[in-house]
Amino acid sequence: MTCILGSAGLLAGCEGGESEPYNCFVEPHCIDDSDPGPALTDPEGGSIYFDYINYSPEMAKAGFPDKAVRLMGHFVSEMDPMAFPFPSGCADLTNTPGWPTGVAKTITEVNVGSLELIGDDSTLVVEPQTAGVDLINRDHDVFYQAFLPNQTDTYIDPDSTYDLHLTGSDAYPETTYPGAFYFPPAFNVTSPPHEATEAPVVGDWELTWEKNDAANGEEQFQIVMLLSPDGTVIHQLCPSAHTGSYAVPENTLNTFRTDYPSGGLLLRGTVTYRLAWFDNCAGIANRRIDFASMYSYVQPFTFAVE
């Protein structure tokens, strides 16, 4: 089965037909080109986060790579709905966990076979794992992840499209999502520069970086995260329109400082987001998958002396 995606939940149509071994999306999702595809309000069917991470020189000296490819994903047939902490401002995902990084307490995860992310010049293959904890401390029964130090040039070409192929399993048919991901263009951070820095203890924290538009006009949004010192806990998540600047509110910094008084890690990134149906016509129906790609910079920060 092959389904064709558009951006931000716009499903452009389907290829195949009755001759294909699986035709699950013909009803109700691919009747014709007018199908708008899933929305964020549809039940969750899992997510894949596909990231390019640039680490600051201090982090590289401490044992982090200069750059890395990171992938985290899972597929869901049933789960309790997650809280939506947005649409505006910063979300405290430690004290009020929810979408997009939370995992529900009641959840059934699905093995979909191997994941293959296919670009113009490379294919990244990720195998399923069972009963473990992922790179941001989320518990799973079945999940996918990869962390590939200094292999960004091999597997990621910013400002380009990637197909997703699921090799299939007893629980889910072999499926291809052409254009599942559009990777954001590269950019440089400007203020503060990409090195160890200080956050203020009074007032907002003004951050800036280059605003580079995607070659295909793909909509991007920007994201700021305040992470635990080891990077495994996303404490504060601040999404906003793609402008190249953001002021982290003083109250957000104070909330973070309560749990991490010595500071942590600052992440600045640009993100593209696409949605697709996750449906096997055999118990999994009308659920959405979130496909997110992020180009980002991570650096340590402490709090300025009062």
Give percent of the chain with pLDDT exceeding 70. Answer: 85
- Of 23 and 293, the one with more pLDDT: 293
- Taking the C-alpha atoms of residue 271 and residue 181, their distance in angstroms, rounded to an integer, is 10
Q: How far is CA 223 from CA 29, 226, 270, 296, in A?
A: 31, 10, 6, 9
* Segment 121-138, tens digit of pLDDT: 999 999 999 999 988 888
pLDDT digits over 66-92, tens only?
999 999 999 999 888 776 655 568 988
Mean pLDDT score of the chain: 85
Distance, in Å, from the CA atom of 183 to the CA atom of 175, rounded to the nearest integer, reads 21
Write down the domain spans for the chain: 2-86+95-185+273-291, 189-268
* Nearest to 218, CA basis, from 279, 140, 159: 159
pTM comes to 0.88
Q: What is the pLDDT of residues 104-125, one digit of tens each?
A: 778 899 999 999 999 999 999 9
Residue 100: asked if its preceding bond is cis (omega within 30°), the reply is yes
Tell me, what's the pLDDT at 160? 97
With residue 274 as reference, give the H or E element that holds it.
Answer: strand 264-278
pLDDT for 158-179, tens place per residue?
999 999 999 999 988 888 899 9
pLDDT value at 7 more than 50: no
CA dist 189 → 54, 226, 241, 256, 269 (Å): 11, 16, 16, 22, 9
More reliable by pLDDT, 41 or 297? 297
- Secondary element (H or E) of residue 118: strand 115-118
For 87, phi then psi, to 5°, come to -100, -10
Q: Decide: 54 and 298 in contact? Cβ < 8 Å.
A: yes
